[in-house]
Amino acid sequence: MEKKSISIVTDICDHADEFLAGVTKRADAKAGIEEWLTIHHLQLHPDERAVIIREAMGVLESEEFFAIDAGGDE
């Protein structure tokens, strides 16, 4: 993954609590990330967007963003 993409993933995860406030379902989080990318990085190639979304979701998973105890969907 490119350095720029890593920076974007980090930015997404650093601000996820803000722009994904109240989101507990993975599909909703993915849609929120897609919207965030559209607002902040419209020029990204679709393939790069897909990688960034996948990586950001993976980080959020590892940080237990969707944990059952936190009201997650699984």
pLDDT at 69 over 70: no
The rounded distance, in Å, linking the Cα atoms of 5 and 16 is: 16
Which spans in the chain are helix H?
A: 3-19, 26-40, 46-62
Average pLDDT, the chain: 89
Distances in Å between the Cα of 8 and the Cα atoms of 37, 41, 65, 67, 72 are 9, 9, 18, 23, 24
Average pLDDT over residues 1-30: 92
Given a cut of 70, whether residue 44 has pLDDT beyond it is: yes
Whether the Cβ atoms of residue 53 and residue 33 lie closer than 8 Å to each other:
yes
pLDDT at 47 over 90: yes
pTM given for the model: 0.85
Question: Between these two residues, 9 and 23, which has the higher pLDDT value?
Answer: 9
Residue 68 pLDDT class (50, 70, 90 cuts): low
Do 63 and 55 meet the contact criterion of CB atoms below 8 Å apart?
no
User: Helix or strand or coil: residue 70?
Assistant: helix
